[in-house]
Structure 1
Amino acid sequence: MPIWRRNLIVCWFGMFATGIGMSQLAPVLPLYIEHLGVDNSDSVAQLSGFAFGVTFILSAVFSPIWGLMADKYGRKLMLLRASLGMAIVVGCMGFAPNVYVLIGLRLLQGVITGYSTACTTLIATQTDKEHAGYALGTLSTASIAGSLLGPTIGGFIAENVGMRDVFVLTGGFMLIAFFCTLFFVKETFVREDKQVISARELWRQVPEKSLTITLFVTFFVLTTALYSIEPIMTVYVSELSEHLTHVALIAGLTFSASGLANILAAPKLGKLSDRIGAHKVILIALLAAGILFIPQAFVRNPWELMALRFALGITAAGLAPSVNILLRKITPASLTGRVFGFNMSAMYLGAFGGAVLGGQVAAWLGVRYVFFTTSALLLVNAAWVYRNVYRKLQYC
């Protein structure tokens, strides 16, 4: 088996486990906080929101830092650091004696993240150009699918095994990822003893500044769109399923439908990006995603919503790998880790921003307006991409 393919398999598993570890807390967090002794419903909601969101915020802050370390000391070392750290921290959450220890561990989880950044950088720099689109397309499914499937997996484990076991099992997956990385990931890395440059100097060395910013924003908008429905999914499904039972399960399956579609479609769309150009795939995917959000506001039952979410996942599968492919092409090799780190920061901020956006729009305007707002955001981004990316690269 070629080294790049073996690296891809290990990194995919690790990123998938990391995605689950970041998101599986969502459906069980309020119940777990109650289990830890918080009785007041307002306090439970407040602490749940803080504990869930703070991990994404800190991950956004620290991703560029770990990206710098990956460029300086090697990507495999960062993979080992992040996977072992996540295994210990997430596993310890299952033994938290009170809610404050749990929040402290969530803070630490955000600090030690960086597995996805190192994986993306490793695959981008160690895979030949012929297979780069396929590799990055396949890898992109891991984090997004893990994040989208995480709530369903976490809820299932909590209901059938136990809430504490959610964290122990996720920590076990990350420990497996650590040993797989240690024994099977191969990296050709030559350390260059260069002075660490500041963020301002880094920006000066980026050759395509406008294009880079557009790609960061596109990744942010994509993640925001995928997470905007998370706060209102259960409420919306309950409105659509008056005569159905197991509403929570149906809501989880509906939310995860886009993750399943992403897994199936991303490798193929990554190859398509190699063939026709990543800029074309980005524009088409943004337009399609923006349009698909509109009928979700008019569905009559959960099954129609589930089908549309599956179709949305196919369009989203064309965005993440195409963004990474373009970033790889326009970024100097010495800056790859830090640039991909900033891109992962955009993803984490999008996950947090999407949840906030969906909740606020639903509270002020109504549940169905979340879909209209997200659609408008995607279509505006498509117009910006057409101007700053598509027209610029069409004749290059």
Structure 2
Amino acid sequence: MPLWKRNMYVCWFGMFVSGIGMSQIAPVLPLFIKQLGISNSGEINRISGIAFGITYIVSAIFSPIWGYAADKVGRKPMLLRASLGMGGIIFCMGFAPNVFTLIFLRILQGAITGYSTACTTLIATQTDKEHAGYALGTLSTASVAGSLLGPTIGGFIEDRIGLQPVFFITGSLMLLAFLTTLFFVKENFKRDEKKQQLSFKEIWNSIPEKRLTIVLSVTFFIITFGLYTIEPIVTVYVGKLNGGAGHVALIAGLVFSASGLANVIAAPQLGKLSDKIGVHKVILFALIAAGIIYIPQAFVSNPWQLMGLRFLLGLTLGGLNPSVNTLIKKITPSHLTGRIFGITISAGYLGVFLGAVLGGQISAAFGIRHVFYITSALLLLNAVWVYFNVYKRLKNKNL
């Protein structure tokens, strides 16, 4: 088995577990905060929002820093640091005596992340051009699937064996990711001292496709924003569609996770397709398809129709993450790969946070259906921007 493929499989597992670790707390957080002594429902909601969102904000700040470190000292050390650190921190959350300790640990979790950045950089720099789309497509399914399936997994564990085991099981899985990374990931890293001493201005000037890099980072932000706008409203929306029937939380979890399942199925295949026909084509048509699929979600009459449309949405978004990552790899000098991926992944974390926050605000101000209208409009406007700044520029190039 080629080295890049073996590393890809190990990194996939680590990124999947990392995604679960970032998101599994969502359905159990209010219950855990209540268990820690907060009884007022309004206070529980406020603290839950802070505790959930702060991890992504801190991650957005630290992701470029860890990307720089990955370029400087190697990608495997960053993988080991992130997996061991996250495993220990998540495990400790189960012992948090109060909400202040919990929030502090969530801040530390955001600061110690960087597993996805290092994985993406490692595979991007090890994989040849012919297999880049497939490798990064497969890898991209891990964090998306982990993030989308995490709430369902966390809710299931809590329902079966309690609150604290959610943290203990997830922390143990991250420690398992640490061990698999330690023993099975191989990297021959050679540091270029001259290139590592560049200032930020010199780094920016050495990027050959500055405008394209900005467009791709914004696109990555909008992709994740669109996925997570539904998170704060899905349970309420499913409750209305379900007409008062039971199992609302379970059905809502399945609806939200449908996109993750579809992404896992589609991303490797669309990654291969991008290797054949060009990443710019896959990005453009996937954005258009995703934007269109959001509209009928506002008109569904039952949860199963919503679940089906979310599955179709996941199929289209499965072509976006790997295509964006593949194109970044192709336009970025190898000694800057970690830093550029750090910036784009940071944009993704911001998309998760702002999507969840603004989705709830839009729903409260205008109604649930407007969340889908506005998200659709953003994706379609992004498609127009990508058409002029990516598709038209690259349609005659071998990218």
Instruction: Tell me the TM-score range normalised by the shorter chain.
Output: over 0.9
Q: Which residue number corresponds to residue 33 of structure 2?
A: 33
**Alpha-carbon contact 1:270-1:318 (below 8 Å) kept:** yes
Matches of 1:67 and 1:238, distance apart in 2: 42
Matches of 2:181 and 2:281, distance apart in 1: 34
Matches of 2:361 and 2:201, distance apart in 1: 34
Matches of 2:295 and 2:234, distance apart in 1: 15
Matches of 1:46 and 1:360, distance apart in 2: 14
- CA deviation after TM superposition for structure 1 residue 162, in Å: 0.9
1:71 alignment partner AA: D
**Alpha-carbon contact 1:67-1:118 (below 8 Å) kept:** yes
**SS of the residue aligned with 2:189?**
coil
Q: Which residue number corresponds to residue 384 of structure 1?
A: 385
**Alpha-carbon contact 1:7-1:185 (below 8 Å) kept:** yes
Q: Which residue number corresponds to residue 122 of structure 2?
A: 122
Matches of 2:202 and 2:238, distance apart in 1: 49
Whether 1:112 and 2:82 are equivalent positions in the alignment is: no
Deviations along 1:155-210, whole A, 9 cap, x unmatched?
00011111111111111110000000000001121122235333333211111111
1:91 alignment partner AA: F
Deviations along 1:24-69, whole A, 9 cap, x unmatched?
1111101100000011111111110000000000100000000000
- CA deviation after TM superposition for structure 1 residue 243, in Å: 4.5
Matches of 2:232 and 2:201, distance apart in 1: 37
- CA deviation after TM superposition for structure 1 residue 130, in Å: 1.8
> Considering only aligned residues, what root-mean-square deviation do their CA atoms show, in Å?
0.8
1:105 alignment partner AA: L
**SS of the residue aligned with 2:360?**
helix
Matches of 1:243 and 1:347, distance apart in 2: 35
Single out whichever of 201-210 and 84-93 deviates more from structure 2: 201-210
Whether 1:374 and 2:375 are equivalent positions in the alignment is: yes
**Alpha-carbon contact 1:290-1:374 (below 8 Å) kept:** yes
Deviations along 1:125-161, whole A, 9 cap, x unmatched?
0112221111100000000110000000000001111
Q: Which residue number corresponds to residue 395 of structure 1?
A: 396
Whether 1:5 and 2:5 are equivalent positions in the alignment is: yes
Deviations along 1:243-272, whole A, 9 cap, x unmatched?
421000000000000000000010000000
**SS of the residue aligned with 1:231?**
coil
Deviations along 1:70-118, whole A, 9 cap, x unmatched?
0010000100000000000011001111111000000000100000000
Pairing 1:10-25 to 2, within 5 Å after superposition: 10-25=10-25
Whether 1:326 and 2:323 are equivalent positions in the alignment is: no
Whether 1:184 and 2:196 are equivalent positions in the alignment is: no
Structure 2 unaligned runs (5+)? none
Q: Which residue number corresponds to residue 363 of structure 1?
A: 364
Q: Which residue number corresponds to residue 349 of structure 1?
A: 350
Single out whichever of 249-258 and 199-208 deviates more from structure 2: 199-208
Q: Which residue number corresponds to residue 295 of structure 1?
A: 296
Matches of 1:174 and 1:184, distance apart in 2: 15
Deviations along 1:330-388, whole A, 9 cap, x unmatched?
00011000000001101000000100121110000001110000000000000000010
Q: Which residue number corresponds to residue 134 of structure 2?
A: 134
Q: Which residue number corresponds to residue 246 of structure 1?
A: 247
1:130 alignment partner AA: E
1:133 alignment partner AA: G
Query: How high is the sequence identity, in percent, across the aligned residues?
Result: 68
Matches of 2:53 and 2:163, distance apart in 1: 19
2:50 alignment partner AA: F
Matches of 1:41 and 1:295, distance apart in 2: 34
> Structure 2 length as normaliser, TM-score?
0.98
**Alpha-carbon contact 1:8-1:139 (below 8 Å) kept:** yes
Matches of 2:356 and 2:199, distance apart in 1: 32
Matches of 1:199 and 1:351, distance apart in 2: 27
> Structure 1 length as normaliser, TM-score?
0.99
**SS of the residue aligned with 2:27?**
coil
Matches of 1:219 and 1:336, distance apart in 2: 16
**Alpha-carbon contact 1:126-1:188 (below 8 Å) kept:** no
Structure 1 unaligned runs (5+)? none
Q: Which residue number corresponds to residue 46 of structure 1?
A: 46
Q: Which residue number corresponds to residue 286 of structure 2?
A: 285
Q: Which residue number corresponds to residue 62 of structure 2?
A: 62
Q: Which residue number corresponds to residue 220 of structure 1?
A: 221
Matches of 1:149 and 1:228, distance apart in 2: 16
Aligned length: 396
Matches of 2:320 and 2:263, distance apart in 1: 10
Matches of 2:220 and 2:244, distance apart in 1: 38
Pairing 1:240-279 to 2, within 5 Å after superposition: 240-279=241-280
Q: Which residue number corresponds to residue 317 of structure 2?
A: 316
